[in-house]
Amino acid sequence: MVMGIIAISLWKVEVIVAMKPGETADVAGYAVTFKGETPLTGPNYTGLAGQFDVTRNGQDVARLVSEKRNFKPSGMPTMQR
């Protein structure tokens, strides 16, 4: 399970939900589906990348990827959107 934070800045809408792969959240008329997560490995970090599909009225709008990285030197997590 991953915590999804979905924000649509144009309408000033923020939804914070816990989602499992395949689950969908409705955000300001858009359907946001959590597709799953994959591990990341970089030169100085490890982490996870979550993929989200966004649709409206059954039409594909975008695929979003959100990353959480843990950097080895500091061990502090960061978020990439």
Tokens of 14: 């923020």
Average pLDDT for the chain: 82
pTM attached to this predicted model: 0.71
Residue 20 banded pLDDT, cuts 50, 70, 90: very high
Percent of the chain whose pLDDT exceeds 90 = 44
Q: Side by side, which strands form the sheet with 24-27?
A: 24-27, 30-41, 45-56, 59-71, 77-80
